[in-house]
């Protein structure tokens, strides 16, 4: 397996020389400064690729995460020919620079959602957390979304009402900041009124509608990906459930099967995110990996600890609810199968996804969920599992 590391470019507090010291060789990044819907120029791609190659440690740009899908494409709104053409041109420019794996997501509005960015850990440090009670409090009492009550069980709504009576302005601001951290592009933020406005175009837009626009997206880009030798891989929903009245269509194995069947091509693949899928109690992540192994082009290896009310928290990589050795064994078996076929893409790139903020991570202004020490601990643990399984057989 190819050890990779997500880097947010020049604005990332974690530097390329630091990444090189972790032992990872592949960089997972994107041109975050380019507006959604615009072409990624080949010159800009080449410059970023050269910047990575010039760093110590023989680093290389291994995976694009993400080549973002414009919200109009997700809504199927207006004349989309230009947006699709620009997306295909960006794909062509990436392929011309030798980049073959492109991760993206099809989640409306938000890339991911947490309600706390610094949930304390018993031994010190902190982690990302999603609280169903806090999310219900936000949707019902802060946002005032029509119909939000129907999305939460009675005990969660009761606890949310209690929180509404006790939360001060600082707590409300903290919660809004945490939820807004999941906006794509990562730098624009909404206040409550702005979020209400941003949600309005999605009113009445359901899962079947989103599946229809996703199918159209695949119809438009998959043939080009095949011709260019690109492997596109959709990222699962995070968390894997509807939020803010927005639909989700990549939350479980049935969703994944539907998505991959829409374009039965190796170019239409999956980013196997153990944490996103693992937050759904119905998902057996190692079993999902084995079922869709042939279409997995990239893996995010992380773990979460789930709670009965639907809450979850980022756990250490070998803790939490997902059997990480069993998942890695499934990926190693797939690599062996591809190697036997003589495939050039036999090795699957993976990255230690997220991480608990530990030691010198504390106080450092890294992107939420992407500390240096916590991810390096995760990478070391995953590396050990891979080495053990490779030595002993899978």
CB contact at 8 A, 210 and 106? yes
Pairwise CA distance, residues 262 & 295, whole Å: 13
* DSSP code, position 181: T
Q: Is 191 exposed, middle or buried (0-12, 13-18, 19+ CB in 10 A)?
A: exposed
Q: Show which residues are catalytic.
A: 235, 273, 300, 353-354, 370
Residue 352: strand, helix, or coil: strand
Q: For residue 282, give Cα distances in angstroms to 38, 90, 252, 308, 349.
A: 38, 36, 8, 12, 26
Crossing angle (nearest 10°) for helices 324-341 and 372-392: 60
Residue keyed to tokens 């199927």: 76
CB contact at 8 A, 302 and 6? no
Q: For residue 56, give Cα distances in angstroms to 138, 267, 333, 361, 376.
A: 45, 32, 32, 22, 17
Counting Cα atoms < 13 Å in the Cβ hemisphere of 293 gives 18
Pairwise CA distance, residues 201 & 187, whole Å: 21
Q: Which helix (H) or strand (E) holds 300?
A: strand 296-301
């Amino acid at each position: 397996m190819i050890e990779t590391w997500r880097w947010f470019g020049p604005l990332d507090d974690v530097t390329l020389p630091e990444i090189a010291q972790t032992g990872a060789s592949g960089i997972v990044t994107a041109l975050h400064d380019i507006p959604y819907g615009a072409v990624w120029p080949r010159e800009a791609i080449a410059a970023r690729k050269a910047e990575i190659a010039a760093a110590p440690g023989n680093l290389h740009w291994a995976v694009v995460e993400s080549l973002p899908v414009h919200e109009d494409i997700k809504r199927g709104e207006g004349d989309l020919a230009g947006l699709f053409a620009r997306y295909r041109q960006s794909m062509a420019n990436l392929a011309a620079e030798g980049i073959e794996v492109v991760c993206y997501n099809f989640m409306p509005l938000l890339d991911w959602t947490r309600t706390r960015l610094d949930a304390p850990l018993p031994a010190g440090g902190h982690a990302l957390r999603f609280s169903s009670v806090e999310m219900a409090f936000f949707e019902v009492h802060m946002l005032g979304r029509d119909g939000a009550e129907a999305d939460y069980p009675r005990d969660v709504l009761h606890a949310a009402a209690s929180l509404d009576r006790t939360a001060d302005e600082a707590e409300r601001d903290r919660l809004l900041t945490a939820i807004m951290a999941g906006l794509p592009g990562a730098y624009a933020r909404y206040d409550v009124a702005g979020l209400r406005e941003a949600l309005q175009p999605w009113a009445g837009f359901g899962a079947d509608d989103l599946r229809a626009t996703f199918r159209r997206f695949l119809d438009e880009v998959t043939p080009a990906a095949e011709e260019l030798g690109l492997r596109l891989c959709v990222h699962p929903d995070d968390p894997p459930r509807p939020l803010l009245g927005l639909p989700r269509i990549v939350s479980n194995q049935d969703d994944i099967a539907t998505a991959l069947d829409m374009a039965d091509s190796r170019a239409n693949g999956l980013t196997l995110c153990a944490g996103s899928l693992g937050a759904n109690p119905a998902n057996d992540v190692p079993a999902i990996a084995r079922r869709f192994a042939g279409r997995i082009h990239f893996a995010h290896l992380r773990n979460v600890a789930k709670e009965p009310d639907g809450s979850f928290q980022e756990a250490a990589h070998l803790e939490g609810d997902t059997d990480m050795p069993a998942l890695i064994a499934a990926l190693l078996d797939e690599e062996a199968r591809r190697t036997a076929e003589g495939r050039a893409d036999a090795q699957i790139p993976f990255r230690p996804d997220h991480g608990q903020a530990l030691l010198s991570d504390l106080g450092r202004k890294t992107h939420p969920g992407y500390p240096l020490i916590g991810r390096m601990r995760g990478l070391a643990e995953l590396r050990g599992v891979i080495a053990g399984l490779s030595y002993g057989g899978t």
